[in-house]
Amino acid sequence: MRVVFVGPPGAGKGTQAKVICVRLGVPQISTGDMLRAAKSAGKLPADLVAKMAAGALVPDGLVIGLIDERVRATDCTPGFLLDGFPRTSPQAEALDQMLAKRGLKLDCVLALEVPKELLIERTVLRRTDKRTGQIYHLKYSPPPPGADLEHRADDREEVVRKRLDTYEGMTAELLPYYEGHGILRRIDGVGSVDEVTTRILSALGAK
């Protein structure tokens, strides 16, 4: 199954992707995680590090190249779940083309919907375990004592607001694109993590 998660910062894409990928037996492919790993390895140019920290998108060509290479890996043969890609119309068109070349297409695009003030609370209080990548929330999903936590540079409130504007300006245009292809499913992202997981599995017909 080839699935895409679309949604604003803090909608729960990463949290849900980890659970849904185990259920579907497919890898999670997160362009945000790939870019942060490149940054940690000192392989992301300084101007792109600055763009990410400021809440702007990196160039389409870079992420399209990353995904084109990643989806060719053998672990993607049974399918994949894309989290954070595509984010613009050129990215969506490039994805369709790279799949079509191999006779493949997307099965489903899930749009996670959460009100803006809740998105800000979710992102500003998010913490990630540096070692395991596990996502926590200081209020809703507190980390265990002694966890080695990271607060993302782009999770400061003023940057989150900028990222939300970027989402509304660039990524939201994807929804009509996928609606037109008849594969968009809108998911209410408010509720417990388990409640949202149940909605997603139901939309995927995998309950």
Q: Is 71 in the site for ligand AP5 (CB under 6 A)?
A: no
Q: Is 55 in the site for ligand AP5 (CB under 6 A)?
A: yes
Nearer to ligand AP5, 26 or 111 (CB): 111
Instruction: Please report how many Cα atoms fall inside a 13 Å half-sphere around the Cα of residue 70, on the Cβ side.
Output: 21
Give the binding range for ligand AP5 (CB under 6 A) out of 93-101, 179-187, 188-196, 198-206: 188-196
- Which contacts qualify for 151-155: CB closer than 8 Å, 24 or more apart? 151/126, 151/127, 152/36, 152/126, 152/128, 153/52, 153/53, 154/9, 154/52, 154/53, 154/54, 154/55, 155/123, 155/124, 155/126
Give the binding range for ligand AP5 (CB under 6 A) out of 28-36, 39-47, 143-151, 175-183: 28-36
Binding string to ligand AP5 for residues 117 to 156, with x set by CB under 6 A, is what? Answer: -----xx--x--------xxx--xx------------x--
User: Residue 103 contacts by C-beta under 8 Å, 6 or more apart in sequence?
Assistant: none
User: Residue 105 contacts by C-beta under 8 Å, 6 or more apart in sequence?
Assistant: 2, 96, 99
**87 assigned to active site:** yes
Q: Is 178 in the site for ligand AP5 (CB under 6 A)?
A: no
Q: Which of 18, 152, 156, 186 is catalytic?
A: 152
Q: How far apart are the two ends of the chain, measured CA to CA in Å?
A: 14
Binding interface with ligand AP5 (CB under 6 A)? 7, 9-15, 31-32, 35, 51-52, 55-58, 63, 84-85, 87, 91, 122-123, 126, 135-137, 140-141, 154, 163, 191-193, 196
